[in-house]
């Protein structure tokens, strides 16, 4: 399962970088391309923006911090992924998705000292984001689900099995 996880990380990171490359080559900076509209309401657009901070441009200009912390978190995530590789497919997939998003944005920060964002969800005033951000959020949610629900269920089953064995 560990090899599968590494392949998933590489594939998702590659998808992120290829989309960003396409955006940079095909959409001029700050230009907006409407993709989905319902009646007079814009729903989804593609744009090309750069963000030298984290979400909502928090810590803008703090490149070394925004490079250093993700490196540490990714290394811890990879260690944890290896250590728990036989424990749960759900856990390893959630970590793989989370790590791939971190790596995708880290590559941008190292190369450009900023992240390429392009997805604009129009109905609410939400920051423009990218595929790597989606991976971080989905991976993080799945990781939390694992520890809040699945791990607790497994602990109860193990405890019940031990009590029945006695």
pLDDT of 1 strictly over 90 = no
Number of compact structural domains in the chain: 1
pLDDT of 161 strictly over 90 = no
Task: Give the residue, 165 or 6, on which the prediction is more confident.
Answer: 6
Q: What is the DSSP string of 109-125?
A: HHHHSSEEEEEEETTTT
The string of pLDDT tens digits covering residues 81-103 is 999 888 889 999 999 999 999 99
What is the Cα–Cα distance from 147 to 144, expressed in whole angstroms?
5
Q: What is the DSSP string of 118-146?
A: EEEETTTT---B-HHHHHHHHHHHHHHHI
The string of pLDDT tens digits covering residues 37-80 is 999 889 999 999 999 987 777 777 777 888 999 999 999 999 99
Identify the three-state secondary structure at position 51. Answer: strand
Domain span including residue 56: 2-165
Q: Exposed, middle or buried, 16 (CB in 10 Å: 0-12/13-18/19+)?
A: buried
Cβ-contact 12, 137 below 8 angstroms: no
pLDDT of 162 strictly over 70 = no
Each residue of 119-128: b (16+ CB within 10 Å) or e?
A: bbebeeeebb
What is the Cα–Cα distance from 33 to 44, expressed in whole angstroms?
9
CA-CA distances (angstroms) from residue 65 to 19, 59, 102, 104, 163? 25, 9, 14, 16, 49
What is the Cα–Cα distance from 20 to 13, expressed in whole angstroms?
11
DSSP annotation of 24 reads: H
What is the Cα–Cα distance from 128 to 118, expressed in whole angstroms?
6
Active site residues: 117, 133
């Amino acid at each position: 399962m560990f090899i599968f996880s590494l392949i998933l990380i590489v594939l998702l990171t590659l998808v992120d970088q290829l989309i960003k490359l396409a955006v940079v080559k095909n959409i001029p900076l700050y230009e907006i391309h409407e993709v989905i509209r319902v009646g007079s309401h814009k729903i989804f657009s593609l744009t090309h923006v750069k963000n030298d901070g984290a979400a909502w441009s928090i810590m803008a200009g703090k490149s070394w911090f925004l490079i250093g912390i993700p490196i540490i978190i990714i290394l811890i995530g990879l260690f944890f992924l290896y250590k728990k590789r036989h424990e749960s497919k759900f856990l390893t997939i959630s970590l793989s998705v989370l790590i791939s998003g971190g790596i995708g944005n880290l590559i941008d920060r190292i190369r450009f000292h900023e992240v390429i964002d392009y997805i604009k969800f129009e109905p609410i005033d939400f920051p423009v984001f990218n595929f790597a951000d989606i991976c971080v959020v989905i991976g993080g949610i799945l990781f939390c689900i694992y520890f809040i629900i699945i791990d607790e269920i497994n602990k109860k089953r193990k405890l019940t099995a031990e009590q029945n064995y006695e």
